[in-house]
Amino acid sequence: MIAIEDVSKRYADGTVAVDRLSLQIPNHSITVLVGPSGCGKTTTLRMINRMVEPSSGTIRVNGEDILRQPVNALRRSMGYVIQNAGLFQHRTILDNIATVPRLLGWSKHRARARAAELMERVGLDPAMARRYPYQLSGGQQQRVGVARALASDPPILLMDEPFSAVDPVVRRGLQEELLRIQGELGKAIVFVTHDMDEAITIGDRIAVMRTGGTLAQFASPDELLSSPADPFVEEFLGADRGIRGLSFLSTRDLELDRSRVFPVGSDWQEIAGREDATSPVMVTEAGGKPLGWADLATWDGDVKALEPYGQGFEVGRDSLRVALDRAVLSPTGQAVAVDGAGTVLGLADQATIAAAIRAARQRRAADAPDLSEDASELKATR
């Protein structure tokens, strides 16, 4: 959809911000530009909507050179969201969101109806419509910024560090909201951040840039974590790259131990006589929901005396990273596997999860196609 071809930008003072960059940015996906401060991310983004003119090279949108298009029409086909939202302080929230439709000549009534619809879409309480930006929290203002950028339903959304000014919890909420909206609308989103965690959470593809405005690697988050192109990318990914990479491996094929799960009301004396009493068993409700761990040598059948099991993981939906985390946190070293309804399917200890990780790595080395499907399925739980 957006083809950046051999593009460079040299500012008037001689600074080379972007150096012979080529990137193909596909439709219906989120492409993240990430890299250290000053590596040319913002410059690249702004060249796409011609807020900055390239010094050389070509940018095409749907095959057409953007320099041949009237700049106003070009910008209206691209929503633009910046840090701190950049809202008009003297306009209400509703009128902020209605800005572009009004510029496009929509009636006030229609533009406001559209704005109200978008408030709902980005998770804003309709009661905020008549407020002014200063009466909203930072996170709410960012939502307004996203709604405003979406108002004319542009096929492309350019986002420049949109969530950087809010605290980590609000930021996580905004990222989830963006993924949900993207799931519904399927825009071509170009998203700038200097935060690798954010890039991995939301990106379908990530362009890692280095100082001097060159491309270090352009790959899916999964590929990036498993095969960084060079030491610069590796260092930028951080020390827990291996653990993070587990976020892209599915628990679907994990071998579960079903032999040590029993419903409450079982014949415990018989079980204690037959089973290995040195390792705990999982006791479930009659319907199969987990209740807690029992030590067969000492447990007297009192549900209140069970050791809490903490959190389980959902087979297929959660990744091996989540499963491993649950096993590490479990008092028994075993993670409880449940289905979508919360019914226990079995147990997985750390050794079993480690074996599944090795098997997935081997399949990856053999280039199994199902892994990329797993990776996109698991996106929401990154």
Ligand X SMILES: Nc1ncnc2c1ncn2[C@@H]1O[C@H](COP(=O)(O)OP(=O)(O)OP(=O)(O)O)[C@@H](O)[C@H]1O
Range in contact with ligand X (rule: CB under 6 A) among 12-20, 87-95, 198-206, 224-232? 12-20
- Least Å from the CB of residue 214 to ligand X: 12
Least distance in Å: CB of 158 to ligand X? Answer: 13
292 binds ligand X (CB under 6 A): no
Q: Which stretch binds ligand X (CB under 6 A): 35-43, 65-73, 268-276, 320-328?
A: 35-43
C-beta of residue 320 within 8 angstroms of C-beta of residue 360: yes
The only residue of 20, 38, 83, 165 in contact with ligand X, by rule CB under 6 A: 38
Stretch that binds ligand X, among 7-15, 24-32, 59-67, 359-367 (CB under 6 A): 7-15
Cα distance between residue 82 and residue 332, in whole Å: 47
Strand order across the 334-338 sheet: 313-314, 334-338, 344-349
Say whether residue 13 binds ligand X (CB under 6 A). yes
How many residues sit in the footprint of ligand X (CB under 6 A)? 13
Note whether 298 binds ligand X by CB under 6 A.
no
**Span from 13-21, 147-155, 260-268, 350-358 in contact with ligand X (CB under 6 A):** 13-21
Q: Crossing angle, helix 350-365 and helix 370-377, to 10 degrees?
A: 130
Q: In angstroms, rounded to a whole number, what is the distance separating the alpha carbons of residues 126 and 156?
A: 26
For residue 224, the minimal CB distance to ligand X (Å) is: 18
In angstroms, the CA 178 to CA 146 distance is: 9
Residue 8 within binding range of ligand X, rule CB under 6 A: no
DSSP codes joined into one string, 272-334: HHHS-TTS-EEEE-TTS-EEEEE-TTT--S-GGGSBP----EETTTSBHHHHHHHHHHSTTSE
The minimum distance between CB 305 and ligand X, in angstroms, equals 55
Are β-strands 56-61 and 64-65 bridged in parallel, bridged antiparallel, or unpaired? antiparallel
For the CB of residue 143, give the shortest distance to ligand X in the complex, in Å: 22
Query: C-beta of 44: minimal distance to ligand X in Å?
Result: 7
Between β-strands 205-210 and 29-34, what pairing exists: parallel, antiparallel or unpaired?
parallel
Only one residue has tokens 């069970």, namely 306
Query: What part of residues 177-206 is at the interface with ligand X (CB under 6 A)?
Result: 194
Quote the Cα angle for 62-64-70, to 5°: 115
Count of C-beta atoms within a 10 Å radius of residue 181? 20
Of 39 and 224, CB closest to ligand X: 39
- For the CB of residue 49, give the shortest distance to ligand X in the complex, in Å: 14
For ligand X, the closer of residues 195 and 377 by Cβ is 195
For residues 33 and 161, the answer to whether their CB atoms sit within 8 Å is: no
Q: Which range, of 11-19, 63-71, 227-235, 340-348, touches ligand X by CB under 6 A?
A: 11-19
Site for ligand X contains 43 (CB under 6 A): yes
Q: Where on the chain is the footprint of ligand X (CB under 6 A)?
A: 11, 13, 15, 17, 35, 37-43, 194
